[in-house]
Amino acid sequence: MSVVAAPVPSSGVAVARTLRGWLLPLGIFVGFLVVWDILVRFLGLPQFILPAPSRIAEAWVVYLPELWASTTYTLVEIVAGLIIGSSAGILMGALTARWVGLRESLLPFAVAVNSIPIIAFAPLLNNWFGLDSQLSKAMVAAVLCFFPVMINTARGLLHVDPAALELLRSGAASEAQVFRMVRVPSALPFVFTALKVATTLATIGAIIGEYFGAPSLSIGQYIVRYAAFLNLERSWAAIVFACSIGIGLYMLVVAVERLVMPWHSSFRAGEA
Amino acid sequence: MTDSQTDTVVQLSGVSKVFEGRGQKAARVEALSGIDLSVRRGEFISLIGPSGCGKSTLLRIVGDLIGVSDGTVMVNGKLAREARLAREYGMVFQAPVLFDWRTVQRNVELPLEIIGRPKQEREARAREMLALVELGDFAGHHPWQLSGGMQQRAAIARALALDPAILLMDEPFGALDEMTRERMNLELLRIWERTATTVIFVTHSIPEAVFLSTRVVVMSARPGRITKIVPIDLPRHRDVETREMEHYFELITEVRESLRGSEGEAVDPRRVAAEGLSA
């Protein structure tokens, strides 16, 4: 009897594969920077239109302490917003998945909230939660995160193999057991997909909130201020930091996902 | 308790099932009509018939996964619903329905977990069941690491975990290749002999039905009815050689002919009626 055993790659092979996985994107990125630098110099673009990457890197090194302080300040808002928005989204998703009546009455409301342009909403939230507070920015981030997390959680909880439900029914499992043993594990891939989207949305949300008023320490204000002074390489350096936050949070979610559902088909060797 | 109650595990009387169409255009489908069947303890019953004859529906009615429109279903002297709540059923579907997030061992433990058995007892029982289906070495594997036949054996182990009064199997080997299927048939017979459980088995393979069963229930479509019950008087212990016996082929022919007859019966009255109208 043959076993279709999952191949367990030896550590050497695994390391080589990981390296290959990292080298290609890294190479493309470096190539992109080089082409950018050459183009800027060759075309003689003024730095307020597009600074060369080398100038941005220079600003990055020179202003590292203040950029770092701004990044950590904004990071708190992003993470808080991510937690608030995702928790609310998971909770509402679970409630609407459980009760059809709730789904029908709440979904239009959620769609409406999601349709409000965040640009219009951010000043309002600044009004409500304080112009200088980190909470108001966290709330902008939370509003952006909420909808995709809610929709995907509900979808995942409802997207269950009918045969699995029959199996649990024939074993006379309780509603709570069906939820815990089948619905939650089936929903996890959906929830994590939503959380990955939410990390970037939270980053965008917090920075947009800061545009409409925040202490000068924040990344949003940092970008605006130096753009106004035509000190674009400092703005760009801050943008690079903001991107790093987004990427870092995304990778964190991926890491947690692997930890929570190592069984998922996307993590099996040779299939990913 | 009378003899008939102790001997009879399943008693279907006048069972019919109508699926009411939802919406205006959806048709009302008479899936089953006037089904009477009694299954004795330790029997192996196969339900066979053309697609749409309601054999899977009948199986689900016995297992109380769907309700009847009319008639009664008694299992072990109880209503089907009470029997389900008393965990008298083990179910095996065409797909193994194993959960990827559980190891094979923990998949088999699932029914025991539902009734809240302590961990040690669960583990011991699951190991016992995995040994029965010869998957003892794969307890720690995940379902996707097993072949299709092995997955289906794990599903059988899970269905037997609570020592159910009746095992309901809905085309369990339908998705397997012919060779694996024949081997699984032998495996199933071996398990059946050892556990002495009662089996109701849905299939659309005539040789499979004849090889496995003590009786083959032949059904016709629209509405689903039992047209014939063919007793399989092959020796109770069956093995590879059974498949070469002359009587085995005679029985296959008998089932095939009753199937052909059943199709005729199902179609003819309507055709006659239609022709009568157009004439």
Decide if B54 is inside a domain: yes
What share of chain A in percent tops pLDDT 90?
Answer: 40
For residues B143-155, average pLDDT: 92
Q: Given this model, what pLDDT does residue A90 score?
A: 95
Residue of B nearest to A268 (CA): B144
Taking CA atoms, A139 is separated from A35, A86, B190, B206, in Å, by: 39, 11, 64, 65
Q: Given this model, what pLDDT does residue A10 score?
A: 54
Classify domain A60-259 by CATH number.
Answer: 1.10.3720.10
Of B90, B101, B147, the CB nearest to A3: B147
Q: At a CB cut-off of 8 Å and minimum separation 6, what does A52 contact?
A: A36, A37, A40, A41
For chain A, say whether B173 makes contact (Cβ under 8 Å): no
Task: Tell me: pLDDT of A13 over 90.
Answer: no
Taking CA atoms, A131 is separated from A83, A202, A219, B92, in Å, by: 21, 18, 15, 61
Q: Given this model, what pLDDT does residue A199 score?
A: 94
The Cα angle at residue A240 between residues A237 and A242, in degrees rounded to 5: 115
CB B67 within 8 A of CB B221: no
CA distance A107 to chain B (A): 24
Q: How many CB atoms lie within 10 A of CB B257?
A: 13
- Single-letter code of the amino acid located at A91: L
Segment A115-159, tens digit of pLDDT: 888 888 888 888 898 888 889 999 999 999 999 999 999 999 998
Which residue's structure tokens are 């302590």?
Answer: B118
> For residue A257, which residues of chain B lie inside 8 Å, CB to CB?
none
Which residue in A157, A183, A153 sits closest to A168, CA to CA? A183
> For residue A161, which residues of chain B lie inside 8 Å, CB to CB?
95, 97
DSSP lists the bridge partners of residue B217 as: B47, B229
Residue A98 main-chain phi, psi, to 5 deg:
-80, -40
Pick left, alpha or beta for residue A99 (phi over 0 → left; psi -120 to 50 → alpha; otherwise beta).
beta
| Domain boundaries of chain A, sorted by first residue | 60-259
> For residue B85, which residues of chain A lie inside 8 Å, CB to CB?
172
Q: Given this model, what pLDDT does residue B52 score?
A: 81
Task: Tell me: pLDDT of A76 over 70.
Answer: yes
For chain B, say whether A41 makes contact (Cβ under 8 Å): no
Cα(A101)–Cα(A132) distance, integer angstroms: 40
Of A171, A261, A268, the CB nearest to B101: A261
pLDDT band for position B274 (cuts 50, 70, 90): very low
Q: Does A265 sit within 8 Å of B144, measured CB to CB?
A: yes
Segment A244-257, tens digit of pLDDT: 898 999 999 999 99
- The C-alpha torsion from B181 through B182 and B184 to B186, rounded to 10°, is 160
> For residue B95, which residues of chain A lie inside 8 Å, CB to CB?
161, 163
Decide if B74 is inside a domain: yes
For chain A, say whether B206 makes contact (Cβ under 8 Å): no
Q: Given this model, what pLDDT does residue A58 score?
A: 87
Task: Tell me: pLDDT of B266 over 60.
Answer: no
Number of domains in chain B: 1
For chain B, say whether A164 makes contact (Cβ under 8 Å): yes
Task: Tell me: pLDDT of B252 over 50.
Answer: yes
Q: Does A185 sit within 8 Å of B99, measured CB to CB?
A: yes
SS3 of residue A202 by DSSP: helix
Residue of B nearest to A263 (CA): B101
Task: Tell me: pLDDT of A203 over 70.
Answer: yes
The residue with greater pLDDT, A257 or B270, is A257
CA distance B216 to chain A (A): 24
Q: Given this model, what pLDDT does residue A152 score?
A: 94
Task: Tell me: pLDDT of A3 over 90.
Answer: no
Decide if B220 is inside a domain: yes
pLDDT band for position B15 (cuts 50, 70, 90): very high
DSSP lists the bridge partners of residue B152 as: none
For residues B226-247, average pLDDT: 90
CA distance B278 to chain A (A): 44
For chain A, say whether B93 makes contact (Cβ under 8 Å): yes
Q: Does A173 sit within 8 Å of B114, measured CB to CB?
A: yes
Of A2, A169, A264, the CB nearest to B147: A2
For chain B, say whether A259 makes contact (Cβ under 8 Å): no
Q: Given this model, what pLDDT does residue A17 score?
A: 76
For B146-204, the DSSP string reads: S-HHHHHHHHHHHHHTT--SEEEEESTTTTS-HHHHHHHHHHHHHHHHHH--EEEEE-S
For chain A, say whether B3 makes contact (Cβ under 8 Å): no
Q: Does B91 sit within 8 Å of A263, measured CB to CB?
A: no
The residue with greater pLDDT, A212 or B1, is A212
Report CA B190 to chain centroid distance, whole Å: 17
For chain B, say whether A171 makes contact (Cβ under 8 Å): yes
For chain A, say whether B114 makes contact (Cβ under 8 Å): yes
For chain B, say whether A123 makes contact (Cβ under 8 Å): no
Segment B120-133, tens digit of pLDDT: 999 999 999 999 88
CB A157 within 8 A of CB A187: yes
Q: Does A6 sit within 8 Å of B144, measured CB to CB?
A: yes
What is the pTM assigned to this prediction?
0.80
Segment B45-70, tens digit of pLDDT: 999 998 888 899 999 999 999 999 99
> For residue A166, which residues of chain B lie inside 8 Å, CB to CB?
60, 65, 91, 93
SS3 of residue B30 by DSSP: strand
Domain that holds residue B56: 1-88+166-177+195-231
CB A144 within 8 A of CB A204: yes
DSSP lists the bridge partners of residue B170 as: B202
For residues A184-191, average pLDDT: 94
Cα(B35)–Cα(B43) distance, integer angstroms: 18
Task: Tell me: pLDDT of B267 over 50.
Answer: no
pLDDT band for position A109 (cuts 50, 70, 90): confident
CA distance A85 to chain B (A): 27
CB contacts < 8 A, A to B, total 71
For chain B, say whether A84 makes contact (Cβ under 8 Å): no
Which of A45-59, A164-178, A243-257, B207-221 is the least confident region?
Answer: A45-59
CB A57 within 8 A of CB A37: no
Residue B68 main-chain phi, psi, to 5 deg:
-90, 155
For residues A38-42, average pLDDT: 87
Decide if B70 is inside a domain: yes
ipTM: 0.85
Q: Given this model, what pLDDT does residue A234 score?
A: 87
Q: Given this model, what pLDDT does residue A233 score?
A: 85
- Single-letter code of the amino acid located at A206: A
Taking CA atoms, B153 is separated from A78, B56, B156, B178, B197, in Å, by: 49, 20, 5, 16, 16
Residue B45 main-chain phi, psi, to 5 deg:
-105, 130
Q: Given this model, what pLDDT does residue B264 score?
A: 47
Which residue's structure tokens are 């070469």?
Answer: B244
**Strands, E assignment, B125-176:** 166-170
Residue A54 main-chain phi, psi, to 5 deg:
-65, -35
Which of A147-156, A158-167, A222-231, B82-91 is the least confident region?
Answer: A222-231
> For residue A4, which residues of chain B lie inside 8 Å, CB to CB?
145-147
Residue B31 main-chain phi, psi, to 5 deg:
-80, -40
Segment B170-185, tens digit of pLDDT: 999 988 888 889 989 9
Q: Does B99 sit within 8 Å of A4, measured CB to CB?
A: no
Q: Given this model, what pLDDT does residue A110 score?
A: 84
What is the CATH number for B49? 3.40.50.300
What share of chain A in percent tops pLDDT 70?
Answer: 93
Decide if B136 is inside a domain: no
